[in-house]
Amino acid sequence: MRSCQRLSRPFVGIVTIVFLTGCAASQPRVAPAPPVPAARAATAVAPAAATTADLQQLVNDAYARFKDVRDGTNADYIPELAKVPSDLFGVAIVTARGDTYSAGDVDHAFSIQSVSKPFTAALVMEQQGSDAIAQKIGVEPTGLKFNSILATQIIPQVSVNPLVNSGAIASVSMVQAKSAKERFNTILDYFDRLSGAKLKVIEDVYKSEAATNQRNRAHAYILAAEERIYSDPMEAVDVYTRQCSIGVTAKQLGVMGATLANNGVNPITQQRVLEAKYVPKVLAIMMMAGFYNESGMWAYSAGLPAKTGVGGGIVAVVPGKMAIVGFSPRLNPAGNSVRATKAIQYITDQLGVNLFGSGR
């Protein structure tokens, strides 16, 4: 882990310097801003101060600013998630060069949940091309909750996308395999390559969700009735549930995101995991649907492709530059982590990396 970049020019240029030249020895010129109330955080640091901060300082700062926020509650519709300590909080940046900057509980493995969805869609693209996702699942945002049965029913052809539950179950059903076991192992192996780690299912989370996932089974049967699921429906739900129960740390999730930021090459292992031509497709669906029914507001405020999960993880991708990850179990009503959202928003604002801006 690097922790000593000194940034002495406006951030957009500086980020490039960090990637090309690595770590400079001296300290930031400006002392970190003191923690401020969450509501003011995004605008509280003057851009001038931000230009002399560094990525480690920025991550520390984001952590300090939001660590005392108690808004939201753990997901409890999966009983095991209600037991996860609510105060856990981690923030990480992993650059497209593979440098990691982190603060807080960034080595705690949490269940990846819906943050898994774009990565399985990527695997399907890798196996069958991106048209397969567009034609067999769809890529339109639903504007409804992640588990909305209504969304799955409204427009039978393309009402789903790979980032809501029904579309994610359909993605799993499209992974080429001869058995459920092979299907899951193919997904797990792909996630291992994306993260450069040996990931494991958190069995208690899997059992807890498997015992309570009637709604996802309903999605799968509706898809089957419309011929929009491509394996046995209950097998797809089960493999999907295992996929959602895979444990990742904020740092590992950062590497997965950094692989997307690095055009499909894992920056730690240097292995190509996704063809470069599919990276914009994955990021596009993340932009349109990564925050579920808050995707519009996220695009409006942060302007970055991102994906959230009810385990409390969020990864945002700055193409060509970095992944920004937050982990905190307390969620807002849409199912998005409150502190992770705030931390990523804050870092995005400080770096000036909103994709729809031209830097400052």
Residue ranges that bind ligand GLN, judged by CB under 6 A: 113-114, 146-147, 165, 209, 216, 244, 309-310, 335
> For residues 41 and 256, which CB has a smaller minimum distance to ligand GLN in the complex?
256
Shortest Cβ 146–ligand GLN spacing (Å): 4
Shortest Cβ 346–ligand GLN spacing (Å): 22
81 backbone dihedrals φ, ψ, rounded to 5°: -70, -25
Contact yes or no for 327/106 (Cβ under 8 A): yes
> For residues 236 and 347, which CB has a smaller minimum distance to ligand GLN in the complex?
236
> For residues 241 and 259, which CB has a smaller minimum distance to ligand GLN in the complex?
241
Shortest Cβ 69–ligand GLN spacing (Å): 20
Give residue number: closest CB to ligand GLN. Answer: 114
Shortest Cβ 86–ligand GLN spacing (Å): 17
How deeply is 111 buried, as exposed, middle or buried, from its count of CB atoms within 10 A (0-12, 13-18, 19+)? buried
| Locus of tokens 């970049």 | 5
Shortest Cβ 344–ligand GLN spacing (Å): 16
> For residues 114 and 171, which CB has a smaller minimum distance to ligand GLN in the complex?
114
Shortest Cβ 153–ligand GLN spacing (Å): 17
User: Which secondary structure element, helix H or strand E, spans residue 307, and what is its range?
Assistant: strand 306-308
Cα dihedral 188/141/313/110 (nearest 10): -40
> For residues 257 and 309, which CB has a smaller minimum distance to ligand GLN in the complex?
309
> For residues 84 and 103, which CB has a smaller minimum distance to ligand GLN in the complex?
84
Task: Pull the structure tokens for residue 6.
Answer: 């000194």
Which one, of 36, 46, 105, 92, lies nearest residue 66 by Cα? Answer: 36
Cα dihedral 144/147/153/157 (nearest 10): 80
Separation CA 240–CA 173 (nearest Å): 9
Separation CA 215–CA 217 (nearest Å): 5
